[in-house]
Amino acid sequence: MTLSVDAKQLTTALTWVKKAVPTRSTLPICTCVRLETINGWLQLTATDLTHRATELVGCFGDAGLFGLDPVCVPAKDLASVLPKTGQVTLTSDGKGLAIVSENGTATIATWKAEDFPPTPSGEYDRVGDIDLNLLRQVAKSA
């Protein structure tokens, strides 16, 4: 599948979600960014299993509606090949992601999207209240 996006918007979104990518991880998939299209938008998601960052980038034309099959790409590799400006075309064949821009073409090996760890939905219920006076008493007695 193929889609086109603005390079500057993609770079900005990647810079944001990379904040959730750990510098070292026992799970190599956590060093990746998951890319998928949702209703005409390219969604980038990263996680360190504790935090999740997600950003959306608008797609050009109808390509975003049919989109990119979900893939995971090493965040560091993707950041190193993205141009600063212009239009970028992303093509995935399930084994690699081709990034085509006016600067040339780069291909990055991908991981299966199914291997990307599930993350919390972001909906959190309030568990309860803490009595601050009781907390102060416990802290003083310790």
Do residues 10 and 64 make contact, with C-beta atoms less than 8 angstroms apart? no
Residue that is written with structure tokens 């959306």 in the block: 56
pLDDT in tens, 88-113: 999 888 789 999 999 899 999 999 99
Q: What is the pTM of this model?
A: 0.78
pLDDT in tens, 107-142: 999 999 999 998 656 554 444 566 667 767 877 876
